[in-house]
Structure formats: structure tokens, C-alpha cells
Chain A
């Protein structure tokens, strides 16, 4: 079961374009916190990716999130 989770997660991150890391350093740790956030975290992940999950099953295209509010993150201190 754990191995399956690893494979799925690795694949999720396998395809990405090279990016400028400084543009948004906070998002990465937000994602990880949800992943490690127990049941509550998984709940939020499902809510965020609901549309993507739905489109996966119904074959329709959809973006999982909009660029609106951002979570604050501590700058170097």
C-alpha cells in the first residue's frame, strides 16, 4: 500500500517544467503540510483537486486551482 502511494506521488511530480523557484516558495510547503496534515489535510487536498479528480473520471479538462488568495510565508529571517 505504501509502495503504491510512493509510485503515485512520484509520478505526480515527475512531469514539470523548469521554473523560477523564487516566484512562489510558499506553495511547495503548503502542499507538503496538507500531505502530512493527517485526515484533515487529505480532506483539503481532495477539495482542492476535486475538479481535477472529477475530470480524470469524466474525461473533461479542468484546472484544479485559481491564482487568487495566497498563503503567507515567512521570508528569510
Chain B
């Protein structure tokens, strides 16, 4: 029975996540299995079930000798990371974590850590995936996950909430989040003395420096579970309050500008929709991507004919708006993410394999690349042939749009650039496409825009 380990699973020495025959399992050592058994018998378990990934006990296979227990977890359709989430996705993940912590405390349990990697999304629904985090509170102490919560959830949200600057670039570079000291330096000045920032940023930064050498050890005074519970309940409640109050700075005015900038012709849209529907309606599509999804209009059409849609755009604001809409609908099929196709999330962490690069995670049954190629070739200065060849690696089929030079959008892009784009013409596009795909059907939508449906030629390993 062959299986392969989840690369990031080394972080928890008592629990090992592995994949076998396309399913997800978690092997547990005695202590961790013991904690799980206590959890599954508690009233807490029934309460938290809707918010955690579906779990059930499984038998320990011979290949996992040495481990005392195995759990089966329902597979998350597509793994995403906090540096790909929009503001509200990170905020909802944070509040989910604190909510689970508060409910745990009520029942005499706690979360032993507060990593933002413990949350995954099923469409617009956040789910807690690290069942091993739950432990019975058996002795006094404080929340070991407090600082981690601040660094991985609170401080990135505060950065975007207070300054309006995106947090994703910070998290793309700092795997374990933003430290109190770093945030203090980024915010600077008198802002730090606002009550919430004073207690949650300024003092933590100062306290960490002050107590680094001369440790602060209240362990003796914290011998009772009741006292510890009371303290944790209070401090977690305050974290929840400050997290809930955070809003992306100036977002209302940004959205007002946004709505005005996006106009399109209804006839053109209808023609595109018709072609797309005709092409996919008879197919059985599992996972699909919408690259440059913007408002998510075409993602929704894809969602009608596929199991799951990953809708990505480099515009954080567009993804924020789409996520909030999907969340209100309780949509579990479309997962919106902030990703720049020209510079997607790289492989991260230990041995650069701990967290996978974005386009290496899955192969899509169908990829939508509408109004994308001209942006990649002209605005992002990428080679046409290279882009299409690269897309074939993760796309079994594509619906891709070519917009020629007569188009107003392309004109606009070329206006402020020296025209070095010799490869930007229909002949070159068809040639690049035909090199790796088989063009199955096409339709001229307008004078300047053509849609193609194509299927990948060779049988790749993925």
C-alpha cells in the first residue's frame, strides 16, 4: 500500500498527514490519539463538527506500523494558503479559529496552536483541518497559540486594516507571519498608542524584547486549571473583539471607483456565454480554473457544469468583493483567490517543499483564459508561446480568448509601450496553441475577439 506524506506535516511530531489512493489520512501517536478520543467523546465534538473537516476513525494499515491511531479526513478540493486569501477570507479564518478556541475553553479543551495553515476553504466556507490541535486542558498554563494567532492572523489584518496596504506580499515572504516588532516598525508613530494597537501591537513588541533574556514565568502562580481558563477566556475574547472590528481601510471608496471602470457590451457577453455553455455542457468536469476571473461571472457558469471552480485574479479588491458575495450565498463550489498568473505563489518553507507552488498543486479539467493572453503578453511582457506551453502543464482543456490589435483594450495597452510584441498576432497565437493543444472549436465573438476551445495533446504525467 503506497502512500506519500504531506510535506508540511513534519511540524507536528505526534501527527502525520499522508495520502493514499487519493484519500487523506492522519496517523496519530499514542498521546495525540488519546486527545482525539477524549475530544470525540466530548460534547464539544458535536458542537464543532460543522466547522471542521469531516473526520472518522480508520484502521491502522500495516504501512503505518508504529502509529497508534489513524483518522480519515474528507479531501479539500483545492489547497490554498493565507497569502492567497483576500482580507475577509483571512478575517473569517481568524474568527473561526478564535470561535473554536472559545468553544473549546467552555468544555475544558484548548487549541494547542493557532496557525493560519490550520484553515482551508471549501468554496467560500472556511473549515478547520487540524484536529490534532484540540487538547484536553489538564494543567494550568496560558494559550501557547496566542503569539502565533497574532503573527499569522491579527497583524496581517491590522496592516491592511490600518494602512490599506495588502498583507499578501508580507505573508508570501514571511511563512510564520508578521512579528509584533515588525508591525510596530511598519505602523510607527503615534498610531501605535491607539488603545487597541497599544495593547495588541506596541506592548507585545516591547514585552517580547524585555522578557527575551530575563524570562517572565508565572507558571507557579498558574497552577489551577480554573484560573488559567478564566485568563484565557478573557484574553481570547479581547482578541476576538479587536479582530471583528478590523475593516480594510478605505474599501468603500475603492469599490465606488471600481464599479465605474468596468463596462462591457451585453451582446459580446451573451455570445461568449453561449460558446462556453455549448462547449462544456456535455462534459463531466471535476476541478476547473478561471484565470483572471474579475467579477466571477464566467466562474459561475463554469460552476454549473463542474464540481469545483478556483477563481483567481491578481486584483485583491475584485476577489474580496467576489468572496463576500459567495459567502452570502453560502457557495461551496467556487473558491476565489488572489493570485497573479504572471507571478504565482512559489514553493515555500523547509527544503522549499513544505508548501507547494500554486500551479503545481492540481491539474484542472478545464481552464478559462478569457481576456487574459493580451494582458500577459503585452502588460506583463511574457512570451506568447511560453505562456501557452506553460498553461498546458496544468490544463487538460482550455477555453481561451484571443484579442487582436484592432481592439480598444489592446490599443490602450500598446499606447504607452514600445511595440516589441512581434509575437502578438493571430497567426502566432494559433501556432502556439496548436503546438500543445488540439483546437476543437472556435467562434468569432466580435471583429477583434475570438474564442477557442482546445484539448491538451500529449498524455503528460499529470
Contact = CB atoms under 8 A, between A and B. Distances in A.
Interface of A: 2, 6, 9, 13, 16-41, 43-45, 47-48, 65-74, 76-77
Contacts of B146: 29, 32-33
B141 A72 contact: yes
Contacts of A37: 230-232, 234-235
Interface residue tally of chain B, by bracket? 35 or more
Contact of A32 (B12, B145, B175, B203): B203
Given A32-B203, A41-B234, A77 B148 contact: yes
Give the top 9 A-B pairs by smallest Cβ distance, nearest first: A28-B208, A37-B231, A27-B211, A38-B234, A40-B230, A28-B207, A69-B219, A13-B206, A29-B147
Interface of B: 11-12, 112-115, 117, 141-148, 150, 175-176, 180-181, 193, 195, 198-199, 203-204, 206-213, 215-222, 227, 230-235, 238-239
A24 B211 contact: yes
Given A26-B147, A28-B147, A33 B230 contact: no
Contact of B216 (A18, A20, A27): A27
B217 A28 contact: no
Contacts of B220: 68-69
Contact of B148 (A32, A43, A74): A74
B210 A36 contact: no
20 contacts: A9-B203, A19-B209, A19-B213, A21-B208, A28-B204, A28-B208, A28-B210, A29-B150, A30-B216, A30-B217, A32-B146, A32-B199, A33-B235, A34-B142, A38-B231, A40-B234, A71-B144, A71-B219, A74-B145, A74-B148
Contacts of B221: 44, 47-48
A16 B146 CA distance: 23
Q: Which of A17, A31, A47, A72 has the most CB of B within 10 A?
A: A31
Contact of A29 (B11, B113, B199, B204): B204
A77 B117 contact: yes
Contacts of A19: 209-210, 212-213
